[in-house]
């Protein structure tokens, strides 16, 4: 390919056209790629199911239930006063993932503990929600996969999990009804 | 290894790889310096365009498959979910649906190019045969893909096309049952069609590799139909034809995008937005436009063929139609031997040229027109006339080759004998 224009300065009109053309093509390819990538993200109907409402009325003190939210279990526990006191008696500094119990519940609804029930180690579902299941050494939850123990605030106390069970975004619609998500 | 190839690439990583597997040397040889006739016109863009559409169909199809549900109870709704809920799903589906039409437009023009300029003649017969196999694979893939949305046209198209095989004497009904996996088009049929619709494009891709590999042995034909005689007759593929292909691709993408974004259902059929109902056949059932010419051939055989003056029927109308339809593709396989003229390009073949333009091309459009109309007069007659013209085109080629007096061929691509300019030689 012989260049006929401006060959002297080493920068030719052809170089410019070549680079501009390649850049334009690159932008076009990236723009064409994005819809395909984005199609793998959650679809509108999946997002529409991202919020659930749960009726708390049937849950007696000391009981817990599992609700399905975004394909994962949510633990909702109606804690007894003793369980609340146990959780709050622990010095925060002793915890693996320090967080006071008060920060994990809604003010004035201290008995209601709402957690995403997925072990923060490798994603198993900890035991302890249904009656008869092992609640672990700290009266909360126990993950059978690799032996993580959670307390009555859902905080990690012993075992390989690095973090407390996360509290999802939720709000009380009435005294006996919560909206999760 | 018998020998270590010499690689002289500036980039040391490229060089390192090339010494071990000379893919860069090969790419440069086949797509960089590859000597290509210098006189291509825009008809020579369509092979590259077909390759582009194939890749587009495979990519968009794989993304659709990630959202599609392959079950008669859920298929239609899953397609509607793609249209309404999946991010950009409407665009991916419209690319795929219109991409099928684009594929046929491009390939039909590509085939026309091959016929008009005699690209199927020695030494390129095998390239042509691979091409016909690709066409058959395309048709099978497109048909099965159209069934997947499980709309009314999907269902009844599948029913009609699979029933073609019932025309085969003795074993026909058993074959149809085997195709269906049951006693009608139903969930087993949908399942196997989806599996095959996913498989066949990759088989097609493999045949495309053979098609292109064989092409790179013989080299491309060109509008003059004479072989390049030296470097003065050729140009390196890059940058001359890469640039020309990119330009053609840009124009084609505008055409393609105008359907996807402004008329996405123009080439489709509204009845396919009605969920499949095995109890109701749509009043007017037609295949997609790209099958209409062949569908018209199928419907043109309205008579049985028997021994004259007796009641003995050798081939009934049903079997006759099926044979004619498959025959219309099968005859392409023997085209290189039906056409016995040593001259390739229609530019130098005064009879053949008009035989293509006034017999083959009109027959294709007549058949396409008649195929889209109801099976009544005058459409049946138009279809029958088209069928006769279509087959006559091929079957009379040996005679044309014998009686035709070709025009003198230019001495070379660079120095044609006529007018001194290869590009305008007629």
For testing contact with chain A, the best of B33, B82, B84, B86 (most A CBs within 10 A): B86
Asked if B63 and B92 count as a contact pair (C-beta separation under 8 A), the reply is yes
pLDDT of residue B288: 93
pLDDT in tens, B50-88: 999 999 999 999 999 999 999 999 999 999 999 999 999
Residue B211 marked in a binding site: yes
Q: Does B86 contact A at CB distance below 8 Å?
A: yes
- CB within 8 Å: A35 and B88: yes
Say which of B121, B154, B244, B269 is annotated catalytic: B244
Q: Does A46 contact B at CB distance below 8 Å?
A: yes
Q: Which of B81, B92, B239 sits opposite A36 (nearest CB)?
A: B92
- CB within 8 Å: A41 and B84: no
Asked if A70 and A181 count as a contact pair (C-beta separation under 8 A), the reply is yes
Using an 8 Å CB-CB cutoff, list chain B residues near A45.
81, 84-85
For B216, counting Cβ atoms within 10 Å of its Cβ (0-12 exposed, 13-18 middle, 19+ buried), the class is middle
pLDDT of residue A46: 86
Residue B311: partners with Cβ closer than 8 Å, 6 or more residues away: none
Mean of pLDDT over chain B: 92
pLDDT in tens, B131-184: 999 999 999 999 999 999 999 999 999 999 999 899 888 898 999 999 999 999
For residue A100, pLDDT over 80 is answered with yes
pLDDT in tens, B226-282: 999 988 899 999 989 999 999 999 999 999 999 999 999 999 999 999 999 999 999
Predicted complex ipTM: 0.81
For residue B418, pLDDT over 60 is answered with no
pLDDT of residue A181: 84
How far is residue B353 from each of residues B28, B124, B224, B246, measured CA to CA in Å? Answer: 37, 20, 13, 30
Highest mean pLDDT among A44-53, A155-164, B413-422: A155-164
Using an 8 Å CB-CB cutoff, list chain B residues near A39.
63, 66-67, 86-89, 92
Q: Does A58 contact B at CB distance below 8 Å?
A: no
Buried-exposed string B106-144: b where 16+ CB fall within 10 A, e elsewhere = bbbbbbbbbbbbbbbbeebbbbbbbbbbbbbbbbbbbbb
Domains in chain B, please, with CATH?
Answer: 40-224+235-285 (1.20.810.10), 289-414 (no CATH)
pLDDT of residue B84: 95
- CB within 8 Å: B91 and A44: no
Q: β-pairing, A52-55 with B305-306?
A: unpaired
User: Can you read off the two tokens belonging to residue A162?
Assistant: 């690095």
Using an 8 Å CB-CB cutoff, list chain A residues near B84.
44-45
Mean of the pLDDT values across residues A100-109? 90
- A146 among known catalytic residues: yes
What is the C-alpha to C-alpha distance for residues B114 and B108, in angstroms, rounded to an integer?
A: 10
pLDDT of residue A9: 64
3-class DSSP string for A103-130 = HHCCCCCCCEEEEECCCCCCCCCCECCC
pLDDT of residue B340: 92
The helix (H) or strand (E) run that includes residue A64 is strand A64-69
Mean of pLDDT over chain A: 89
**A168/chain B closest Cα distance in angstroms:** 25
Q: Which is nearest to B333 in space by CA: B122, B120, B141?
A: B120
Interface A-B: count of C-beta contacts within 8 A: 37
Q: Does B254 contact A at CB distance below 8 Å?
A: no
Q: Which of A97-101, B302-306, B387-391 has the lowest mean pLDDT?
A: B302-306
pLDDT of residue A19: 92
Q: Which of A35, A38, A44 sits opposite B84 (nearest CB)?
A: A44
């Amino acid at each position: 390919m012989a260049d006929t224009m401006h060959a002297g300065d080493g920068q030719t009109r052809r170089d410019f056209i070549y680079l501009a053309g390649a850049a334009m093509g690159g932008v076009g390819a990236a723009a064409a790629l994005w819809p395909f990538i984005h199609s793998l993200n959650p679809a509108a109907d999946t997002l529409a199911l991202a919020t659930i409402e749960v009726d708390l009325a049937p849950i007696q003190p000391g009981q817990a239930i599992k609700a399905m939210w975004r394909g994962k279990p949510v633990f909702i526990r109606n804690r007894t006063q003793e369980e609340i006191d146990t959780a709050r008696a622990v010095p925060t500094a002793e915890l693996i993932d320090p967080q006071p119990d008060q920060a994990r519940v809604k003010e004035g609804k201290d008995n209601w503990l709402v957690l995403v029930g997925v072990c923060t180690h490798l994603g198993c579902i900890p035991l302890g929600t249904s009656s008869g299941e092992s609640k672990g050494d700290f009266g909360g939850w126990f993950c059978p996969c690799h032996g993580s123990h959670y307390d009555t605030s859902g905080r990690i106390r012993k075992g390989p999990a690095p973090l407390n069970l996360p509290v999802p975004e939720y709000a009380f619609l009435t005294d006996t009804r919560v909206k999760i998500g | 290894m018998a020998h270590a190839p010499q690689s002289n690439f500036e980039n040391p990583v490229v060089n390192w790889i090339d010494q071990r597997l000379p893919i860069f040397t090969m790419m440069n040889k086949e797509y960089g310096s590859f000597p290509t006739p210098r006189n291509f016109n825009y008809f020579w863009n369509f092979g590259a365009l077909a390759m582009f559409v194939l890749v587009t169909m495979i990519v968009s199809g794989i993304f659709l498959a990630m959202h599609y549900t392959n079950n008669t109870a859920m298929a239609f709704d899953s397609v509607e979910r793609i249209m309404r809920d999946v991010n950009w799903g409407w665009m991916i589906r419209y690319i795929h649906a219109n991409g099928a039409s684009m594929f046929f437009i491009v390939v039909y023009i590509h085939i026309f190019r091959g016929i008009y300029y005699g690209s199927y003649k020695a030494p390129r017969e095998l390239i042509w045969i691979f091409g016909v196999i690709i066409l058959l694979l395309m048709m099978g893939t497109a048909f099965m893909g159209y069934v997947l949305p499980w709309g009314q046209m999907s269902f009844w198209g599948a029913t009609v096309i699979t029933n073609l095989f019932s025309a085969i004497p003795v074993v026909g009904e058993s074959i149809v049952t085997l195709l269906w996996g049951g006693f009608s088009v139903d969930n087993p049929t949908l399942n196997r069609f989806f599996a095959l619709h996913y498989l066949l494009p990759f088989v097609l891709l493999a045949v495309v590799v053979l098609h292109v590999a064989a092409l790179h042995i013989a080299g491309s034909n060109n509008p003059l139909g004479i072989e390049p005689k030296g470097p003065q007759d050729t140009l390196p593929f890059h940058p001359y034809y890469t640039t020309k292909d990119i330009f053609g691709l840009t124009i084609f993408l505008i055409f393609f995008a105008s359907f996807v974004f402004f008329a996405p259902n123009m080439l489709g059929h509204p009845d396919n937005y009605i969920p499949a109902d095995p109890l109701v056949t749509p009043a007017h059932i037609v295949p997609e436009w790209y099958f209409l010419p062949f569908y018209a051939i199928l419907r043109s055989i309205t008579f049985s063929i028997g021994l004259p003056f007796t009641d003995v029927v050798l081939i009934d109308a049903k079997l006759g139609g099926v044979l004619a339809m498959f025959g219309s593709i099968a005859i392409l396989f023997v085209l290189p031997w039906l056409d016995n003229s040593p001259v390739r390009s229609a530019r130098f073949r005064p009879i053949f040229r008009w035989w293509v333009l006034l017999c083959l091309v009109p027959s294709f459009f007549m058949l396409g027109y008649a195929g889209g109309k109801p099976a009544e007069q005058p459409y049946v007659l138009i279809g029958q006339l088209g069928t006769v013209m279509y087959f006559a085109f091929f079957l009379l080629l040996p005679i044309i080759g014998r009686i035709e007096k070709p025009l003198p061929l230019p001495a070379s691509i660079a120095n044609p004998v006529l007018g001194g300019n290869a590009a305008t030689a007629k």
